[in-house]
C-alpha cells in the first residue's frame, strides 16, 4: 500500500520555531527507545515535544508542518510502508533540499526506509538510529541524506537534544546553500540571455569605425530600456539607430529588444525614414503593456561615400557631430517628430545633413544628459553641458572607446552617485587616411562595452578609434 506524501511546507520548521522543537520518532517499538518528555525538557533548556509512529504509513499522517526533526530507526520493518524489503525508492524528492542521492551500496535494502522518509520529508531534518556496532551503516545513512546518526546504546536526553538542534541547523544550512546555488545558476542564465540580446554591429566593408558604451540603470541587469544598432545594407549605406523606452524595468528592456530587432529586420528589408518609423510605431503599439508606454528614437543613414547622412528624430536628442579640427556641435533637431506611441498618425521628416570628409558622430540616450550637476544639485547636465564636456575631452586627444569611457565616468562623477537612468552611447567615425591604410575597409567592429553598476563591466570589447 503506497504511503501518502504529506504536503510540505515552503519554509523549514526550523525557520519558524523559536525555542521549542517537535521530534517525530519512527520506530517499531517506541516504548523501548523514546526519551520521555520531562527528560528532554530539562536537557540544555530546550523543550522537545515528541510524536511516535510505528510504521511509515503512520509517520506520514503525523508529519505536519510543525515537525522539526525525524528520528528514524534504520531497523524499522517496511511492512505497510509502501516499499518491499531491500527495494529503495527511486523518485527521490527535490523540493528545497535538492535531489536526494540513492543508496547504491550492498546495504541499500537496509536504507530503504531512510530513502523513503527522505522522499516524503525533503524539508525536514533526519536523524538515523542504529545499533552500536553498525558504524558503517550509520555513515552510509549520512551519505544518503540523513543529517546525523545516533547509536541506541548512547542515547540519552542530553545527546538526543544536542543532536536534534544540530540536525535542524544543518538542514537549514543545506537548504539555504541549495537555494543560493539555484539563484546563482538562474542569474548566470539570465546574464547569458541578456548578453545574447545585445547587438553586434554589421559594419564590415563600410570603412567606418565604431565604439559604444551601454550602462543599464536597473540593478544587477545587463539590459535596460535603451537600445541601439548599426547595420550596413548591400548598397553600402550604413544605418545607425539609438532609442529609449520609457521606464527601467524588465518589461521595458524586453520591449527595447523587440524594437531593435524589428528595426534591423525592416532596415535590411529596405525601409528607412518615415516608413520605417511608422512600422516601428505599429510594433510598439502591439507589444507594449499599456498605452502610456512610448519610445524615443534617432535614426541616421550614412551614404556609401560617408559624406552625407539622413537624420530622423522621434522625440529623441539630436546627435553630436565633430569634424576634424572643429569643435563638436549638435545636429539640427527642429524638424523632429514625436516619440513613437504618442500620436497614431504621426510623421517623421528625414533631414539631410552634411558630414564632411573626416568626422565623428555621437548618438546617445537622455541618461547621459539628465544626470545632476554636483552632489545633490538641482541642475541637470543638459545638452549644452554635454557638448562642452565632449569638446573638453576631444581637446585632450581622447577618441573612440576612451572618449566614451571618460564621458560616462564624468557624468557619473558630476552626478555624485550612481545614475538611475539607462545610458547608451555610440560613436561612429570616418577617416579617409585610415581607410586607405586598411585597404578600403575597417577592422571588424565589436559589441559595446557593458557596465553593470556597481560591479565592473561584465562584457567589454575594444573597438577601433574614430579619427579625432
Cell numbers representing residue 360 in the block: 565623428
pLDDT, one tens digit per residue, over 162-178 is 899 999 999 999 989 98
Across residues 329-348, what is the average pLDDT?
92
Q: Is residue 198 over pLDDT 50?
A: yes
Reported as a pLDDT band with limits 50, 70 and 90, residue 80 is very low
Distance of alpha carbon 277 from alpha carbon 263, whole angstroms: 9
338: left (phi over 0), alpha (psi -120 to 50) or beta: beta
pLDDT at 85 exceeding the cut of 70: no
Residue 307 has pLDDT above 70, yes or no: yes
Average pLDDT, the chain: 80
Least confident interval from 153-157, 300-304, 358-362, 392-396:
153-157
User: What's the pTM value of the predicted model, to 2 decimals?
Assistant: 0.60
Read off the pLDDT of each residue in 95-109 and give the average, rounded to a whole number: 49
pLDDT at residue 7 is higher than 80 = no
pLDDT in tens, 259-272: 999 999 999 999 99
| pLDDT of residue 315 exceeding 70 | yes
| pLDDT number for residue 449 | 59
- Mode of pairing for the β-strands spanning 21-26 and 69-73: parallel
DSSP 344: T
| 130-159 mean pLDDT | 87
Position 116 confidence tier, pLDDT thresholds 50, 70, 90:
very high
Residue 83 has pLDDT above 60, yes or no: no
The pLDDT value recorded for residue 312 is 96
User: Which pLDDT belongs to residue 334?
Assistant: 85
pLDDT at position 435? 58
3-state secondary structure of 306: coil
pLDDT higher for 29 or 55?
Answer: 55
Answer yes or no: is pLDDT of 8 > 80: no
User: pLDDT confidence of 372, banded at 50, 70, 90?
Assistant: confident
Say yes or no to pLDDT of 67 above 60.
yes
Pick the closest to residue 301 from 277, 328, 329 (CA basis).
Answer: 277
Cell triple for 368: 547621459
Largest Cα span, the chain: 97
| Predicted pLDDT of residue 169 | 92
Average pLDDT over residues 288-300: 95
Compute the average pLDDT of residues 444-461: 44
The answer for residues whose C-beta is within 8 angstroms of residue 392's C-beta and 6 or more apart is none
**DSSP string for 341-356:** TT-TT-----EEEE--
- For residue 21, CA distances in Å to 17, 54, 284, 467 come to 7, 21, 57, 73
Amino acid at each position: 500500500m503506497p504511503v501518502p506524501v504529506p504536503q510540505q511546507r515552503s519554509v523549514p520548521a526550523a525557520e519558524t520555531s523559536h525555542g521549542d522543537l517537535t521530534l517525530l520518532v519512527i520506530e517499531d517499538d517506541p516504548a523501548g527507545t523514546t526519551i520521555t518528555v520531562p527528560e528532554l525538557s530539562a536537557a540544555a533548556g530546550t523543550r522537545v515535544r515528541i510524536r511516535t509512529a510505528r510504521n511509515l504509513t503512520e509517520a506520514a499522517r503525523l508529519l505536519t508542518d510543525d515537525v522539526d526533526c525525524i528520528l528514524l530507526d534504520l531497523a524499522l520493518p517496511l511492512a505497510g510502508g509502501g516499499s518491499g524489503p531491500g527495494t529503495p525508492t527511486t523518485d527521490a524528492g527535490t523540493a528545497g533540499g535538492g535531489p536526494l542521492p540513492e543508496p547504491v551500496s550492498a546495504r541499500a535494502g537496509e536504507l530503504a526506509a531512510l530513502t523513503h522518509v527522505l522522499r516524503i520529508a525533503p524539508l525536514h531534518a533526519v536523524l538515523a538510529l542504529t545499533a552500536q556496532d553498525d558504524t558503517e551503516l550509520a555513515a552510509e545513512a549520512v551519505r544518503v541524506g540523513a543529517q546525523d546518526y545516533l547509536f541506541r546504546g548512547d542515547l540519552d536526553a542530553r545527546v538526543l537534544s544536542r543532536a536534534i538542534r544540530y540536525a535542524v541547523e544543518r538542514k537549514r544550512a543545506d537548504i539555504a546553500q541549495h537555494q543560493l546555488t539555484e539563484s546563482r545558476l538562474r542569474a548566470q542564465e539570465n546574464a547569458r540571455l541578456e548578453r545574447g540580446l545585445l547587438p553586434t554591429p554589421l559594419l564590415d566593408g563600410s570603412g567606418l569605425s565604431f565604439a559604444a558604451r551601454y550602462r543599464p540603470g536597473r540593478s544587477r541587469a545587463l539590459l535596460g530600456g535603451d537600445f541601439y544598432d548599426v547595420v550596413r545594407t548591400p548598397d553600402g549605406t550604413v544605418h545607425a539607430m539609438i532609442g529609449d523606452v520609457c521606464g527601467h524595468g524588465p518589461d521595458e528592456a524586453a520591449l527595447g529588444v523587440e524594437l531593435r530587432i524589428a528595426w534591423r529586420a525592416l532596415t535590411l528589408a529596405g525601409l528607412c525614414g518615415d516608413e520605417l518609423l511608422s512600422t516601428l510605431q505599429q510594433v510598439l503599439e502591439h507589444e507594449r503593456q499599456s498605452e502610456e508606454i512610448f519610445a524615443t528614437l534617432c535614426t541616421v543613414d550614412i551614404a556609401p561615400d560617408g559624406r552625407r547622412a539622413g537624420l530622423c528624430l522621434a522625440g529623441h536628442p539630436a546627435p553630436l557631430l565633430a569634424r576634424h579640427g572643429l569643435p563638436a556641435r549638435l545636429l539640427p533637431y527642429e524638424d523632429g517628430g514625436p516619440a513613437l506611441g504618442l500620436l497614431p498618425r504621426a510623421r517623421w521628416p528625414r533631414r539631410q545633413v552634411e558630414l564632411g570628409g573626416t568626422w565623428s558622430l555621437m548618438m546617445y540616450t537622455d541618461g547621459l544628459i539628465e544626470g545632476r550637476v554636483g552632489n545633490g544639485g538641482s541642475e541637470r547636465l543638459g545638452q549644452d553641458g554635454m557638448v562642452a564636456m565632449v569638446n573638453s575631452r576631444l581637446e585632450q586627444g581622447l577618441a573612440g572607446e576612451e572618449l566614451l569611457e571618460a564621458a560616462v565616468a564624468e557624468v557619473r562623477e558630476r552626478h555624485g552617485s550612481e545614475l538611475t537612468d539607462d545610458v547608451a552611447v555610440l560613436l561612429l567615425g570616418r577617416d579617409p587616411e585610415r581607410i586607405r591604410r586598411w585597404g578600403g575597409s575597417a577592422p571588424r567592429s565589436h559589441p559595446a562595452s557593458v557596465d553593470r553598476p556597481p560591479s565592473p563591466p561584465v562584457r567589454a570589447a575594444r573597438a577601433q578609434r574614430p579619427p579625432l
